[in-house]
Every structure is written in structure tokens, then in C-alpha cells.
Structure 1
């Protein structure tokens, strides 16, 4: 894929929105029970591949602010990168939100268990539930609303 000014601009805008929304809603964006409203944006890779680096960079910025330290910055952001890439590869619209739910549930569950000693499987469940809310209640309608603007997406 050729990197264009449009691609870079899209990635930058997505990164900025992701970070700003996460930080603006900080009380519900971090911790064992979290609903990151910004995770609704994880459906965007189905519409533009620029969302993959955009979500990754936005997550790095949000996690720097979040206070979980280098472990959260690295592993939380890499989880978002992997989930974004897999969302990009999903063959059907309804499947696009699945990778962030599963990957973040597992990875962030482990991160929170390691950092704060929270019970692993309960924490995985709470994170996955928050992702489910963000990705399907907010993200999926966003995907449907934007799909007609991106004919090369899903």
C-alpha cells in the first residue's frame, strides 16, 4: 500500500480522537471495569487501513496518560494493534468488533492482573464485557453509518 497524505491524515485524526475520547472519559476508560468509549473506533479498520496505525498510536497516547506504566503502554497498545489488524481482515461487517473484544479481554486482563493483582479470569470477563458494549453498542452502528462513504471497505 502506498502511504499518501490522506492515509497519514486519517491515521492522525483517528489517533487524536481515540486518545482524546479515552482521556475525556478517564473514569470509565481505565481499570478492571472499563468501557472505553473510544473503542467504538476499533471498527474503522474495516473502512480504511489507516485506522490500524491510528488506533495503535491513539492507544499509546491514552495509555501514557492512564498511569498503568510501561507494561500497559506496550502490551495494551500492541493488543490494540493486533485487534485492529484482525478487524481489518474480517470478512463480514458483524464480525469486525470481535477481535478487540477477545484480544483486549485476554491481554488487558493479564496486564491488570500483573499490575494490580486483580483476579485474572474475572478481570478478563469485565474487560471483554466493556469491549462488547463499546464495540457492538457504539462501534457497530458507527460502522453501519459510515459504510456507504467507503465503497472499498466491507
Structure 2
């Protein structure tokens, strides 16, 4: 049991670190009204390990803090990623690739526009933000996450052998 706990914590920490690194490396496109947060491709990882759920949440939380986000963005942005990760974990047994990427796309598309409008005070229509955030999430979660999913499925036993 002790070894499994260490593995869980280690996997969560590595996933958080990779999320933060990707967010910071691609900071110019990771924040703002029109954003493509490439780190969101990692939201498919709950398919492989439940450690991805806290890892993604902590990674997003730290990425938002380090990126200079305001408190509503730090809290609600991280909550959106957490909900997306939980959703991906929840649909993992249905076997449909599209279902794995829908929860993070939906969570961010529905939550982040309100943060941009009311947290940052950007006076553009919520619907505009839903479109721009949604497109960014489709690109990061749907396209890049789908590519990552294909790569990891081939190497599942090597990378996530304890789960």
C-alpha cells in the first residue's frame, strides 16, 4: 500500500510540474481573451491514472498563480480544470475518444468566459468568450489531447504500469 501511495503522489507531482512548465513556456498563448493553453492536452491523463486529477488541479492552480492571474481566475480556472479531469475520469470506461475530451472542453468553455468578463472586467459578450475559449479548448484538449491519447495508449504499460 505504501508503494502505491508513493506512486500516486509522484505521478500527481510530475503531472502538475509538466502542466506548469507547459503553461509557462507557452505563456503568451496560455492566458487572455483568446487562449490556447497547451497544458490542457494533459486532461486526458485521468484515463490512465487517477493521480492525474489532483496533478492537473495543482498544476493549473500553480500555473495561474505564476502567470499573474487574479484570485477569481486562480480559483475558478483551476476548478474548471479539476471538473474537466473528474469528468474525463468519470467517462473513461465508455470507450469513446470524444467523451474523454468533452468534460474539460465543456468545463472551461462554460466557466472561463465569466472569469474573463467579471473577474478581469473585459467588456465583451460572454458568448464571444465562450467561442474563443471553446476553440482554444478544442485545439488543446481535442486535437493535442487526442494525439497524446494515441501515443500514451501505445505505451500504457510502460508509463502507467502500476495502474
Q: Which band: TM-score by shorter chain? A: over 0.9
Runs of 4+ in 1 over 4 A off after TM superposition: none
* Structure number, greater radius of gyration: 2
Distance 2:13 2:139 in 1: 25
TM norm structure 2: 0.87
RMSD: 1.9
How many pairs were matched up? Answer: 153
Residue 134 of structure 2 corresponds to 128
Q: 1:112 aligns with which of 92, 104, 116?
A: 116
Distance 2:37 2:117 in 1: 18
Residue 145 of structure 2 corresponds to 139
Residue 64 of structure 2 corresponds to 63
Distance 1:93 1:13 in 2: 24
Residue 39 of structure 2 corresponds to 38
Distance 1:65 1:104 in 2: 19
Residue 98 in structure 1 maps to residue 102 in structure 2: yes
SS at structure 1 position matched to 2:129? helix
Question: Which 5+ residue runs of structure 2 have no aligned equivalent?
Answer: none
